[in-house]
Amino acid sequence: MPDLPSPFASKAQRDQARHAKKEAVLRAAVDLFNERGFHATSLDDIASRLGITKPAIYHYFGNKDQVLFHGLTVGMEQLRAAVDEARRHSGRGVDRLRAFLILYAEINMTAFGRCVILTEEHELMDASRRRFRTLKREIDTALRELLREAVEDGTVVTSDLRLTAFALAGALGWVARWYKDDGQQSAMQIANGLVDGLIKGLAPR
C-alpha cells in the first residue's frame, strides 16, 4: 500500500515559514521606525500593522532593541555586499568608487538602508550600539579605501581623504530623508544623477 502524504509540514517547511514570518515582523517594524521614529513606535504598533498579537513578536525577537538592531544589520549587510561588488569592478579607481557610491545611494533609498541613516546611535542599548558602531566603521573604512585607491591612480583628486569621505557619505545619506517611492524619478536615476555630480567635483583639473 503506497505511503499517504503527510498532512504535517516538514522541518524544512516549518523553518521556511518561521523565517518568512520573522522577516515580515522585521520589515513592518523598520517601516514604522522610518515613518514614526523608534521611540514613537511600540511593539503593539508593529503587531497591529501585521494583524498579530504582541506576544507573537517575542517568538522572533526578545525586545524592541533587538528588532531595531536586526533591521540595522540587514541594512549594513547590504552595504557590505555593495563594497564587495564594487571591488570586483574592473578598471580605474574612480570606476570602483562610483560603483560603490551608486549602490550606497540606492541602498539608502530602501527601507533597511533608510533605517541605518535615520537611526540615532543613542536609541540603541549599549551592546547593540557598540556593534552598530563597529559595522558603521567598517563601511566608512571601505569608502575611504576606495577613495584612496582612486586618488593613488590619479582618477580622483582630493587633499583630505577623511573629509571627502564624510562629505560623500553625508550627501548620499541625505537622500534617505526625502526620497519617495512614488516620486518622478526612480532610485536608480536619482543615485546616478547624484553620484555623477559628486564624481565630477573630484575629477582632476
Q: Where are the domains of the chain?
A: 10-62, 64-201
Amino acid in the structure at residue 135? L
pLDDT of residue 205: 83
Question: Does the pLDDT value for residue 14 go beyond 80?
Answer: no
Question: Does the pLDDT value for residue 6 go beyond 80?
Answer: no
In tens, the pLDDT along 60-88 reads: 999 999 999 999 999 999 999 999 999 99
What does each C-alpha distance from 181 to 24, 34, 105, 123 come to in angstroms? 19, 13, 14, 26
Question: Does the pLDDT value for residue 151 go beyond 70?
Answer: yes
Query: Are the beta carbons of 116 and 123 closer than 8 angstroms?
Result: no
Query: Which CATH code is given to the segment(s) 10-62?
Result: 1.10.10.60
Query: Out of 1.10.357.10, 3.90.1200.10, 1.10.760.10, 3.30.43.10, which CATH number does the structure's domain 64-201 have?
Result: 1.10.357.10
Whole-model pTM? Answer: 0.88
**Minimal CA–CA distance to 85: which of 93, 96, 76?**
96
The mean per-residue pLDDT over the stretch 121-147 comes to: 95
